[in-house]
A and B are shown apart, each in its own frame.
Chain A
Amino acid sequence: MTARTVIRNEWRLLMADRPLRIALGLFALLLVYALANGVVWTRFQERTVEVAQIGNVERAQALVRELADIENGAEPASRFSDPRLPNVLGGARGRHTAVLTPGPLTALAVGQSDLLPYYYDVNIYTNESSFHQNGEVESPLNLMVGRFDLAFVVVYLLPLLVLALSFNVLSEEREQGTLALTLSQPVSARGIVAAKLAFRALLVVGMVLTVSLAGILVAGDLGDPGRVLLWCAAVVAYALFWFVLAAWVNSLRRSSAWNATVLVGAWLVLVVVLPAAINIAAGLLHPLPSRVQMVTAQREASNEAVNQRSELLARYLEDHPEMAEGVVADEPGLGALAWAATDAVNRRLEEVTAEHDARRAEQIALVRRYRFLSPALLAQEVLIDAAGTGDARFAAFQSQVRVFAERWREFFVPAILASEQMNAGVLSDVPRFRLADEASADVVRRAGVPLAVLIGLLGLVGAGAGVGLGRVRGAD
């Protein structure tokens, strides 16, 4: 009896089983629905990104026109919004929206992209508190529940289908009395279970990967093979984990009912209870530092800075000799004085925030260690990281915006300090934000760790199943 025979028979049997047929059909439907959802969300974000980028161009064009008019003798609308002033041109009027394009596979996993901001307006006043933003407009209720995307179907529902397909893969043969007969042929229990599960795995994984690839074709980026491979590897490893778990439980030679109970229990513990317990433990052992205290600290920092306004400019120029060119130290302009105060506030904010962020990073590093206990958390992490909707990509974007804001200030502040006026000519030199998106290799390197652990868990359970099945005899 070859694997082919087993697989052919299995196909007939599966198709004869109506509830299973329904379950498979339902699963396919949910996959397609989840993908459609993800595609709608990707399109929404793409549109927003486009509007933001058009806004950048339109603002710049309007300023060029206005500056040209003023050069030709027109009066500026107000002396406070005169675009020749560097604090206006580099301020809210001339701001530049720095944009994070949707992750290459957002259609497959919404991840954190509905919660974290994916664009920031940058101007000379951008500071640490500018990063406190809410992100996309979304009802808190919807954020709390989360999206029905492919990642959700894979992490939560796929294991249930796998278990429904394989909880009685061996026990049923025994209960029907066919096991002894089958094993009298020149095959091992291991071989039979492997063939049966391989067939089922091919079916389930095939469905998920087909829909995933369709999604990538419709709304993703096939040009990023690293991410696509990561996604596929995570799906395969996670699905196989549940298959070998079922095989292992079957190798214990208990009844189908017992297998079902234990496997549902395992799903509950690994997918629902363990992540929750991990988070509670993490929250108790490593509480995140409070943002509320940070708000108070920031406020105090800026109060302090404003109160010392008079001494600030001298200190600022000491710290930034490169900005001092053209500033007459004896009679600084109002703009220079105001800027010195702004800068002092920013520096204090940075200190307070850096302290907070360092503590937060420490806690999160501790929290992240625990995820190795749950295959569901590992799979989720790899899936959203592959999609480009994980925490790391958003954090990287934020740091790039920080650097960009610094460049922006370096462009405009010398003119503020020197009380210079700007003209349309400088607009072509104004810094533009270019996203240096993480390379495929970086993502693979980062997500490789949880993926390797997931594969390790798979190997461990697989070995257990192999050993257990090796002991199964027809006479059981």
Chain B
Amino acid sequence: MTSHGIRHIVRKEFTDVLRDGRFRWCSVLVGALLLVSLGHGWVQAREAQREHAAAQSTAREHWETQGEKNPHSAAHYGIYAFKPRLALSFVDEGVDPYTGTSVWLEAHRQNDFLLRPAQDATAAQRVGALTAAQVLQHLVPLLIILLTFGALAGERERGTLRQLLATGVGRRDLALGKALGIAGALALLLVPAAAVGAAALVVGSPGPAASPVARAAVLAVVYLVYFAAFVALSLAVSAWARSTRTALVILLGVWVVNGLVAPRVAVDLSKWLHPTPSALEFARTVEREMASGTEDIIPPDRDALAERLMAQYGVERVEDLPINDVGAYLQESEEFGNRIFDRNYGALWDTFERQGVVHELVAVAAPLLAVRALSMGLAGTDVEQHRHFASAAETYRRDLMRRMNGDLTENSRSGDFSYQAGSELWESTPPLRYDAPTLGWVLGNRILSLVVLGGWLAGTILIAARRVRRAEVA
């Protein structure tokens, strides 16, 4: 039998699925949830981005119109940075509800991102957050299982498998035909959703450009691979199981482990392998090191600095320096603090990232974890991209402090506490500009997930092929 035969099988499977009332209802439900969550996500993301952009420009206005004051007072006044939302975040809000949305950039301190949206919501909202990504990761696989569990086991139970094979249909063609038929039915659901998603992307959210189209294309491929792996897995189980009931029970078991059990086990495993300090411990460590430094990070010594400056400028008294030694000292303190922050916050974020790798490794047992990591990465809502923005904000803070301390050093003299700078200085500092990471950067972080997901696809296809070849006819 030839491709002609496959076409028959595809068409038959496709019409069977469409005629099945259960599938129609499930598809309508999943499709509706997908569209609603896409729409809701889009409205929310656009609103959030609009708001953050507005808040950012107000923050800049506050900075520029803060009036005449000492540059160090201005440094204490500081500026707020608001995390922008990337264009694709409406598909997958990822960890965004659990990271803060804004950070205060001020003198002497690297602050945490505060205001986590999840803290404002209720416990119930934490249980049942639904994004398009969650529909795609949880509900579409369930739909695939419901469509596929009886594909071969059912034919066998009804005795039609023997008949079919007797007509000369190859087993591989039969399985391929079934898979394509189911894929066709799924396409009826997914293609419109993808079109809506693409339209939303084109209509656009004003987030920073980060090659949204390329990201969206890769995102689509990732989900297709995930679905294909589920179709292959379901076919394999359907070919292997003795009854449709067994097939369904096994596949539902897989679904529960994949979607419910494994993700949470990964949390515990990641915390056990890479423990984080308590917030209290962390704060106390930073406080202690800021006060007295560490073995190789030594707090600046104001008198020694003054000596050095006097030697450099060849003067005898601090008052005779052509610069303000306080500004130089403040800058040295900033640099000292920065090293302490880099050490502590760097270690913390590294731990978070290592915990993330544990989640990606658990994907070997549950492909959802690989897809989730890739999906969040491409949507720009994973831990790494939060860190990316946090580092950009911190770099900006450091530059701002350098400018303030530099102005104080250059334009005033030691012992002069009355020096004030004005809007000229505030306006001369550039505003915070953020370039979201490129697609290559995102995928570079996610090689492990790409490999695991690819492995799942290849593995399930191989197993399906083998199971179909060996499937008992009756």
Interface residues of B in 224-281 (CB under 8 A from A): 244-245, 248-249, 252, 256, 260-261, 263-268, 270-271, 276-281
The contact string, 1 if C-beta is below 8 Å from chain B, for chain A 360-404, is 100010011001000011001100100000110000000000000
Interface residues of B in 331-387 (CB under 8 A from A): 348, 351-352, 355-356, 359, 382-383, 386
CA distance A142 to B266 in the complex (A): 9
Give the chain B neighbours of A273 by CB distance below 8 A. 29, 33, 139
Within the complex, the shortest CB–CB distance from B385 to chain A, in Å, comes to 11
Tell whether A429 is near chain B: CB-to-CB under 8 Å: no
CA distance A45 to B2 in the complex (A): 66
A135 and B359 in contact, given A146-B264, A279-B130, A292-B55 (Cβ under 8 angstroms): no
The answer to whether A364 and B282 have CB atoms under 8 Å apart is no
Within the complex, the shortest CB–CB distance from B55 to chain A, in Å, comes to 5
A279 and B124 in contact, given A143-B98, A273-B33, A292-B51 (Cβ under 8 angstroms): yes
Tell whether B395 is near chain A: CB-to-CB under 8 Å: no
The answer to whether B267 and A146 have CB atoms under 8 Å apart is yes
The answer to whether B383 and A141 have CB atoms under 8 Å apart is yes
Nearest residue, chain B, Cβ from A303: B62
The answer to whether B245 and A384 have CB atoms under 8 Å apart is no
CA distance A19 to B37 in the complex (A): 37
Give the chain B neighbours of A376 by CB distance below 8 A. 127
Stretch at the interface among B113-121, B202-210, B410-418, B450-458: B113-121
A368 and B348 in contact, given A134-B114, A146-B264 (Cβ under 8 angstroms): no
Give the chain A neighbours of B352 by CB distance below 8 A. 139-141
The answer to whether B244 and A37 have CB atoms under 8 Å apart is no
The contact string, 1 if C-beta is below 8 Å from chain A, for chain B 304-331, is 0000000000000000000000000000
Stretch at the interface among B99-107, B172-180, B397-405: B99-107
The answer to whether B278 and A48 have CB atoms under 8 Å apart is yes
Tell whether B128 is near chain A: CB-to-CB under 8 Å: yes
User: Helix, strand, loop or mixed for chain A's interface?
Assistant: helix
The answer to whether A296 and B58 have CB atoms under 8 Å apart is yes
The contact string, 1 if C-beta is below 8 Å from chain B, for chain A 142-163, is 1111111000100111001000
Within the complex, the shortest CB–CB distance from B173 to chain A, in Å, comes to 28
CA distance A278 to B120 in the complex (A): 17
Give the chain A neighbours of B113 by CB distance below 8 A. 134
The answer to whether B114 and A296 have CB atoms under 8 Å apart is no
Nearest residue, chain B, Cβ from A119: B280
Within the complex, the shortest CB–CB distance from A424 to chain B, in Å, comes to 23
CA distance A81 to B71 in the complex (A): 23
- The residue among A278, A290, A384 with the most chain B CB atoms within 10 A of its own CB is A290
The answer to whether A137 and B128 have CB atoms under 8 Å apart is no
- The residue among B58, B279, B356 with the most chain A CB atoms within 10 A of its own CB is B279
A268 and B142 in contact, given A144-B98, A390-B123 (Cβ under 8 angstroms): yes
User: Which of A133, A140, A152, A303 lies in contact with B264, CB distance below 8 A?
Assistant: A152
Tell whether A218 is near chain B: CB-to-CB under 8 Å: no
A141 and B40 in contact, given A48-B278, A273-B33 (Cβ under 8 angstroms): no
| B interface bracket (residues with beta carbon within 8 Å of A) | 35 or more
The contact string, 1 if C-beta is below 8 Å from chain B, for chain A 118-140, is 01000000000000111111111
The answer to whether A275 and B128 have CB atoms under 8 Å apart is yes
User: Which of A51, A132, A282 lies in contact with B280, CB distance below 8 A?
Assistant: A51
Tell whether A299 is near chain B: CB-to-CB under 8 Å: yes
Nearest residue, chain A, Cβ from B249: A19
User: Which of A52, A115, A144, A371 lies in contact with B95, CB distance below 8 A?
Assistant: A144
The answer to whether A277 and B80 have CB atoms under 8 Å apart is no
Tell whether B474 is near chain A: CB-to-CB under 8 Å: no
Interface residues of B in 131-186 (CB under 8 A from A): 134, 138-139, 142
CA distance A275 to B126 in the complex (A): 10
The answer to whether B36 and A280 have CB atoms under 8 Å apart is yes
Give the chain A neighbours of B142 by CB distance below 8 A. 268
User: Which of B55, B66, B267, B278 lies in contact with A293, CB distance below 8 A?
Assistant: B55
User: Which of A116, A132, A146, A299 lies in contact with B59, CB distance below 8 A?
Assistant: A299
Give the chain B neighbours of A11 by CB distance below 8 A. none
Tell whether A358 is near chain B: CB-to-CB under 8 Å: no
Nearest residue, chain B, Cβ from A44: B278
User: Which of B40, B55, B114, B279 lies in contact with A132, CB distance below 8 A?
Assistant: B114
The answer to whether B267 and A147 have CB atoms under 8 Å apart is yes
The answer to whether A278 and B62 have CB atoms under 8 Å apart is no
Tell whether B52 is near chain A: CB-to-CB under 8 Å: yes
The answer to whether B115 and A291 have CB atoms under 8 Å apart is yes
Tell whether B221 is near chain A: CB-to-CB under 8 Å: no
Stretch at the interface among A100-108, A197-205, A226-234, A257-265: A257-265
A292 and B102 in contact, given A134-B116, A391-B122, A391-B123 (Cβ under 8 angstroms): yes
The answer to whether A146 and B115 have CB atoms under 8 Å apart is no
A279 and B128 in contact, given A139-B355, A290-B51, A295-B102 (Cβ under 8 angstroms): yes
Give the chain B neighbours of A140 by CB distance below 8 A. 95, 98-99, 352, 383, 386
The answer to whether B122 and A367 have CB atoms under 8 Å apart is yes
Tell whether B125 is near chain A: CB-to-CB under 8 Å: yes
CA distance A19 to B252 in the complex (A): 14
User: Which of A44, A292, A371 lies in contact with B115, CB distance below 8 A?
Assistant: A292
The answer to whether A371 and B276 have CB atoms under 8 Å apart is no
User: Which of B22, B116, B126 lies in contact with A261, CB distance below 8 A?
Assistant: B22
The answer to whether A111 and B123 have CB atoms under 8 Å apart is yes
A160 and B264 in contact, given A132-B114, A384-B123 (Cβ under 8 angstroms): no
Give the chain B neighbours of A284 by CB distance below 8 A. 40, 43
The answer to whether A132 and B115 have CB atoms under 8 Å apart is yes
Tell whether B129 is near chain A: CB-to-CB under 8 Å: yes
Give the chain A neighbours of B101 by CB distance below 8 A. 291-292
The answer to whether B138 and A296 have CB atoms under 8 Å apart is no
The answer to whether B265 and A146 have CB atoms under 8 Å apart is no
CA distance A148 to B266 in the complex (A): 10
Tell whether B212 is near chain A: CB-to-CB under 8 Å: no
CA distance A103 to B80 in the complex (A): 35
Give the chain A neighbours of B90 by CB distance below 8 A. none
Tell whether B94 is near chain A: CB-to-CB under 8 Å: yes
Tell whether B97 is near chain A: CB-to-CB under 8 Å: yes
CA distance A279 to B124 in the complex (A): 8
The answer to whether A280 and B260 have CB atoms under 8 Å apart is no
Within the complex, the shortest CB–CB distance from A311 to chain B, in Å, comes to 17
Tell whether B292 is near chain A: CB-to-CB under 8 Å: no
Give the chain B neighbours of A139 by CB distance below 8 A. 270, 276, 351-352, 355-356, 383
CA distance A143 to B261 in the complex (A): 15
The contact string, 1 if C-beta is below 8 Å from chain A, for chain B 31-67, is 0010011001001100010011001001100100010
Tell whether A112 is near chain B: CB-to-CB under 8 Å: yes
Within the complex, the shortest CB–CB distance from B12 to chain A, in Å, comes to 22
Tell whether A288 is near chain B: CB-to-CB under 8 Å: yes
CA distance A364 to B29 in the complex (A): 27
CA distance A429 to B264 in the complex (A): 47
The answer to whether A276 and B102 have CB atoms under 8 Å apart is no
Tell whether B426 is near chain A: CB-to-CB under 8 Å: no
A–B Cβ pairs within 8 angstroms, 12 of them: A139-B352, A142-B271, A143-B95, A144-B94, A144-B98, A275-B124, A276-B129, A288-B120, A288-B121, A291-B101, A292-B48, A391-B122
The 5 closest A-B pairs by CB, nearest first: A275-B128, A276-B130, A140-B95, A140-B98, A148-B264
Besides A115-B118, A284-B40, A288-B120, 4 more A-B contacts (Cβ < 8 Å) are: A139-B356, A282-B125, A288-B121, A292-B102
